[in-house]
Structure 1
Amino acid sequence: MSTFTAEHTPAEIVKVFPKASDLFKKRRIDFCCGGDRPLRAVFTEKDVDEAAVLSELNIAYESWSKEDHEIINWDNIALTELVDHIVYKHHAFLNEELPALGQFVTKIFRVHGANHPHLKELHRLYNDFKVDMEEHMIKEEGEVFPLIKEYEINPSEELAKRIHEANGGLEDEHEAQGDILKRIQEITNDFEPPADACTSYRITYARLSELTSDTFQHVHLENNILFKRVK
């Protein structure tokens, strides 16, 4: 792929050019839950300057493609290896980060909530996301991922049906979790702390930004690659 056009989907682009996820995050363009829609439809819906985004995207891709990168073609990786990557990279990150970051979110709400009312909503949204995501990962690791690993060894129509039924619920949960993160990004002004923010405030926003980026990549791997390959 040499040039991206408005007919490409965000999911297709991120598979070829992983760093496009940064641009999509900045522009609030969904590449995971709703990543299968052509960019043209997204541009129209969001009233985005198509030429400007495509120019920025293709200039960044041209520069990136000249560098030495190890590009993993997840479509050719064994399903078991892909599942393990999701668990040991993305689930491990969330299991460690969610409780720790939650303490920062609570701290800045307690200290600065009176002067920054949006921190009340941030506190509520974050804790909703934390609970939902922890339950979601338990379901994946305990039920769905073992089925996918079994399917790779002994594929059957019955097993595929069970996986598809389970995946439908997971994708709905992904969409709900993605909506929470999009709302967090909105109320934090794209994770830009206010001028009077203390160090803890700035750390919280930086870690929320990292959490959002990692989760979008995580969901992209599941929705647009893992689940589709089983289908």
Structure 2
Amino acid sequence: MTDPLLAPETTVRDIAARLPGAAQIFRDADISFCCGGALSLADAAAKAGLDLAALTAALQALIDRAGRDAPQATPELIAHILDRYHATHREEMNFLVQLANRVETVHGDHDEAPLGLTEILLALRDDLETHMSKEENLLFPAMLQGAGAVLAEPVRVMAEEHAVTSDLLRRIEHVTHGLTLPEGACGSWTALYTGLRKLCDDVVAHIHLEETVLFPRALAA
């Protein structure tokens, strides 16, 4: 059965923001989910000359896999999120900010230079740090105490913040031309886009795990 997220009228922007791995499928198919993100899945498939059913099946396979390896117990799941995502985001963000600044400084006159990327990454770093700190200091401890349905409002706020994060990821896609390297890109530029691809995919997976597994489970406790 096809997930409602993959309805033909759903925009590719929404799918890329909510489904881990969808961004890479869209990149490989030359489907833009930043500038052309307002296109529906059906229209994007048609524009790219792809069979909608085949594209939908590939995306559905991602849904079937997503969260499959997540720990079943809430304490272990939270520990997994803290280790796999929170710690990893913090470790990678500073390096990517420095690398982006280097590429913009050295290659700023290149036609395909990712101008404005450093500023976006600084905003993303601040956004993630603020959001993760709220989870670590308030939300996750309350979940571990079994607060249950009283967490509905904090969870709603977290979901709103996820939407802001997703918008920053789309801005990264935009200024990097879909994370496409120019011909003859130097090692720093290559390392930057490789790191950004992993970061963006990780952030989407992080959000998906919380919104589809952790939050519903905690609210039902």
TM-score (norm 2): 0.75
Q: Distance in 2 between matches of 1:226 and 1:23?
A: 25
- C-alpha deviations, 1:16-59, integer Å up to 9, x for none? x97556425654669xxxxxxxxxx9425xx2227624314536
Q: Distance in 2 between matches of 1:59 and 1:175?
A: 24
* Structure 1 position 139, deviation (Å): 1.1
Name the % identity. 27
* Structure 1 position 138, deviation (Å): 1.1
Aligned residue among 51, 66, 72 for 2:68: 72
CA contact (8 A) 1:25 1:213 kept: no
- Which residue of the partner structure matches residue 189 of structure 2? 201
Q: Distance in 2 between matches of 1:190 and 1:210?
A: 13
1:115 aligns with 2:114: no
1:132 aligns with 2:127: yes
- Which residue of the partner structure matches residue 164 of structure 1? 152
Q: In the superposition, relative to structure 1, how do residues 117 and 123 fare at CA in structure 2: closer, same or farther (>3 Å)?
A: farther
* Structure 1 position 126, deviation (Å): 1.0
Aligned residue among 166, 173, 184 for 1:178: 166
TM-score (norm 1): 0.72
Q: Distance in 2 between matches of 1:25 and 1:149?
A: 38
Q: Distance in 1 between matches of 2:179 and 2:193?
A: 5
Q: Counterpart amino acid of 1:112?
A: H
CA contact (8 A) 2:115 2:175 kept: no
Q: Distance in 2 between matches of 1:88 and 1:145?
A: 13
1:43 aligns with 2:38: no
User: Which ranges of structure 2 fall in alignment gaps of 5 or more residues?
Assistant: 7-14
Q: Counterpart amino acid of 1:8?
A: P
Q: In the superposition, relative to structure 1, how do residues 99 and 197 fare at CA in structure 2: closer, same or farther (>3 Å)?
A: same
Question: After the TM superposition, which residues 97-116 of structure 1 pair with which residues of structure 2 at under 5 Å, given as runs?
Answer: 97-116=92-111
Q: Counterpart amino acid of 1:218?
A: H
* Structure 1 position 222, deviation (Å): 0.9
User: Which ranges of structure 1 fall in alignment gaps of 5 or more residues?
Assistant: 31-40
Q: In the superposition, relative to structure 1, how do residues 54 and 81 fare at CA in structure 2: closer, same or farther (>3 Å)?
A: farther
SS at match of 1:120: coil
